[in-house]
Amino acid sequence: MSGVVIYLPPGVGDHGEEPDGGVTLRLGAGETARFGRGSATTPVELRLIDAAISRLAGEIRVTEDHWQLSNHSTTQSYLVENPEGAGEYLRVPPRRAGAPIPFEFSRVVLPTRRDTTVAFQVFAPDHLYMDPDAVGGHRGTRTVTAYSLDETAIYFLVLVALCEPRLRDESPLAVPTTPQIVERLRAHPACARLTARAVSSHIDYLAEEKMRISAPDEYGPARGGRRNGKRESIVGLALRFGLVREEHLTLLPPRTGGGHGVHTGRHLG
């Protein structure tokens, strides 16, 4: 239970000394953050710079393993989109207090006067998933894996792709590179537009929020750079502790032969 992470992309928030960077805010269980244009008399934790947004536009409260959104606007509805949900979204009407948000990944969208919108992201990595053998439901009295991963999320596909060579006993050492993962997942319907940058973000999210990987010593340059050390740690731990198993290989799109996967759709004769 580490709460939620809120990320204001560059250009949306007031980020003071970091003109080009976004703003990241971490909230623990029971904590709240207000968002809006803010003022001296209406302080907010997340400042959104758009004239159409009220001084106190809304509030985020971390509760249990999810979060709640209160809409302080008297006229505007806010949308909460699930960027991985194929169009799944919630509308939070004006003056709604504490609407529970069920998505692990959310994009909160506020309307502006222009044709554009202001949006920020909220991650809720604490979502709990039952172990596959927990058939009798989840009562808090069963022994379970303390790290739960959404096996339908893109980060999980990235994780399986990272682990694939070792699961298939092809290469005990090599962990796929980011371009290799982009290529490997391209045929998956959810990953057609997956970028290298997104893959890197998913890997960071897995390492920092989901698996909370320690052992920074292994990230030394002698091991081929920080990023590779992190990948190797993720793969090693996911396999060692059974977070990714052989049966998960079926989640990946079929391989297109020979491990090179370039010559598809050709019929001879």
Which residues bind to another protein, rule: CB under 8 A? 1-3, 28-31, 62-65, 126, 128, 131, 133-136, 138-147, 211-215, 233, 236-237, 239-242, 245-247
Min dist. Cβ of residue 98 to another protein (A): 15
C-beta separation of 132 from 151 below 8 A:
no
Min dist. Cβ of residue 135 to another protein (A): 7
Of residues 29 and 190, the one with the C-beta less far from another protein = 29
Of residues 240 and 260, the one with the C-beta less far from another protein = 240
Min dist. Cβ of residue 91 to another protein (A): 25
**Minimal CA–CA distance to 150: which of 67, 196, 210?**
210
Of residues 78 and 123, the one with the C-beta less far from another protein = 123
Residue 245: count of CB within 10 angstroms of its CB: 13
List of residues 6+ apart from 25 with CB closer than 8 A: 5, 6, 7, 8, 33, 45, 46
Min dist. Cβ of residue 100 to another protein (A): 12
Of residues 20 and 133, the one with the C-beta less far from another protein = 133
**Minimal CA–CA distance to 126: which of 99, 100, 147, 107?**
147
Of residues 30 and 224, the one with the C-beta less far from another protein = 30
Min dist. Cβ of residue 1 to another protein (A): 4
